[in-house]
Amino acid sequence: MSVVLGVVDTSEGRVRCGPLDAVDPYGAVITSSPSSFELSWVRPSPLPLYYRAGHGRLEVGGDLPAFLDGRSRPAPDPGMLLTFVQGHVPPPDASALSGVRRLSPGTVVRVDRAGVTVGRSAPALVDRRNGLRNAVAEVLADDPEPVVAYSGGLASAFVALSLRAPRLVHADLGLPRARPLAVLPGLEVRHVKIGVDELLDVTAHVSGDELHPPMPDIAVPARLAAVLAADAGRPLIGGSLLKDLVSAKLPEVDPGTRGWRLLTCEPFHVVGTLTNLTRARELLGVRTVHALQGRPDRQEFEGPPPVKRTGADPLPWLTDLGRAELDTTSGGVLAVWREHVDFLPPVLGRLVAGLEERGTSGFRTPAVEAGVLGAAAGETTGRIRRGGFQNHLPMWRVVEKAGVTGVCTSSPGHWLRVAAATYLRAHRRTLMTGIARQCALADMGLIDPEVVLRMLADGPNTAAHAMPLLRLVWLERWLGGIR
C-alpha cells in the first residue's frame, strides 16, 4: 500500500484524481465522477485513514508521517501528554499533525468545483434480527479452524459457545486469579505461558520515532495477541468490545408501567426502602452504577460521586501548571467525544469509544462487523428482574443456557492493571533511577518527580496507580527519543 493514497484537486475547473489505492481496508469508500469526489467512512477499521484539505486540494493517506513533507514534527502539546497519562484518548478526528485529520465515523469529505467541504452523515446500521449469537457465528463462518483467545470472561466464553468446536487458547501470565478459569462444556483449553516482562517492557514498544506516543492500553494486548497467534499458528478470534455493544445503563431500561420496577429494584434498597417513584428517578440522575460483587449480571448504586475535575480522578504527581493544563485539555477532549458519541447510533457510539480506548486487543473481533452491529442494535440488552438490574442479556443467556458458571466479571483491562502493578514492582529500582536522572514532564513543569518516586517506592500506591504510572514510564521513554 502506498505511503500517500492520492491527491484530489480542482484545477482547470475539473476534479482531477491522482493515483488512489483502495480505501476499503480503512473502512472508507470513494465515490467519484468528472465533477466531484467524495470520501466517506462506512465501517470500523483498526487502520486509520488521514486527510488534509487545502484550497481546492485534498490529500488522502494511510501513513501519517507522509504528511510531514520533509518538515520536522511539531512539539507535543503539554496538556495532551497529560491526557495520555490519565488514560484519555484524542478526539476521534485528531492527529499528531496540525491540519491533518483522521477520517472519523460519519465524516464525508467532498471535492467539487466549489472546493473542499467536510460534513457529517450518521451511518446507518444493517438491520439484522437473527440474534447476536447467530450473527457472530455467521461472520466467523469463513474460518474453518477457529481458535478463540479465551480469558475466562463473559465475552470470550460467549464467542466460544457461539462457534462450532473451536480451539481455545488461554494466556497464562502467572498473575493471581480471583477464581479458577470457567469450564466450557466439551471444549479444552491450551494454556500458553507468557512472561509479564515480555509484554510490558517499554523498550520493545517505544522507540521515540513515533509521531504519536504508544500507550500500553492498546500496545500490550496487541503484543499478547501476536504471541498467542504465533503459538497457535494462525490469527485468534477474541470477544473484544462485544460487551460494549450490548451494554445498558439502568436509566435506559424499561421501568415498567408507571415505573413500578424501579421501586422493586435492589439498588434502591441497599440502605432502606424508597417511599415513592420520584425519589427513585432522582437517584437515577445523581448516582453511579457499578458491578455488584458476587452477582455478575446485576448492578447497584453507590453514594453520589465526589465533585472533581472534568473527566477523571487527579494524577497525584501534577504540579499546579500540570493540573491546569490537564483540566483545560481533558475538558475539551471529553466534550468533543460526548458530542461525537451522541451523534452516532448508540451501538456504534459505544463501539467507536471502545475501539479508541482499547483497540481490538490485537484479535479478530466480530464486534466490528456490520452484521453483528445490526444484530446488537436489535437486542434487549438490560432489564430489571426480581429486584435486580441485569446487563449484557444476550451474552448471559447463551452462557447460562450452556450451564457455564464462574465466568469472570472483571472490568475490561483488569488483567493489564494487575500486570502493570507486577511489572512496576519488579522493576521499580531501575525505573526510579531513570526518572531521577531525567524526566521530560518535570522539565516542562508539569509533574513533581519526587511524588512519582515515592509512589514507585510504595507497593500499595504503585498498585493503586499502576496504569497511570506505566503510561508515564512509556511516555518518558517516547519523549526521551524525540529530543
Beta-carbon contacts of 167 under 8 Å, excluding residues fewer than 6 positions away, are 145, 146, 147, 148, 190, 232
The answer to whether the beta carbons of residues 241 and 354 sit under 8 Å apart is yes
Closest CA to 408 of 291, 320, 275, 302: 291
- Does any domain span residue 133? no
One pLDDT digit (tens) per residue for the chain, 483 residues: 333 456 766 666 666 676 566 788 888 988 888 788 889 998 888 889 999 988 878 888 888 998 888 788 888 899 999 999 999 989 999 999 989 999 999 999 988 887 888 999 988 888 777 899 999 999 999 999 999 999 999 999 999 999 988 999 999 999 887 678 999 999 999 999 999 999 999 989 998 889 989 999 999 999 999 999 999 999 999 999 999 999 988 777 777 776 777 766 665 555 555 667 776 777 666 544 433 333 434 433 333 333 333 334 579 999 999 999 999 999 999 999 999 999 999 999 999 999 888 888 889 999 999 899 999 999 988 888 776 778 899 999 999 999 999 998 888 788 999 999 999 999 999 999 999 999 999 999 999 999 999 999 998 999 999 999 999 999 999 998 755
Domain boundaries, position 36: 4-80+93-120
Tell me how many domains the chain contains: 1
Residue 36 placed within a domain: yes
Whether residue 33 is contained in a domain is answered as yes
Q: Residue written as cell 507486577?
A: 422
Rounded CA gap, 211 and 77, in Å?
12
Q: Give CA–CA dist 163/138, Å, rounded.
A: 9
What is the grid cell recorded at 432? 526510579
pTM for the model: 0.86
Inside any domain, residue 434: no
pLDDT tens by residue, 226-266? 999 999 999 999 999 999 999 988 777 777 776 777 766 66
Whether residue 66 lies inside any domain: the answer is: yes
Please list the residues that pair with 150 across neighbouring strands.
Answer: none
Q: How many helices (H) and strands (E) does the chain have?
A: 18, 16
Residue 408 lies in a domain: no
Grid coordinates representing 51 are: 486527510
Q: What residues contact residue 250 under an 8 Å CB cut-off, 6+ apart?
A: 265, 267, 284, 289, 299, 382, 384, 389
Please report whether residue 296 resides in a domain: no
3-state DSSP: the chain helix, strand, coil percent, rounded to 5? Answer: 45, 15, 40
DSSP readout, 455-481? HHHSHHHHHHTHHHHHHHHHHHHHHHH
Query: Does 63 map to a domain?
Result: yes
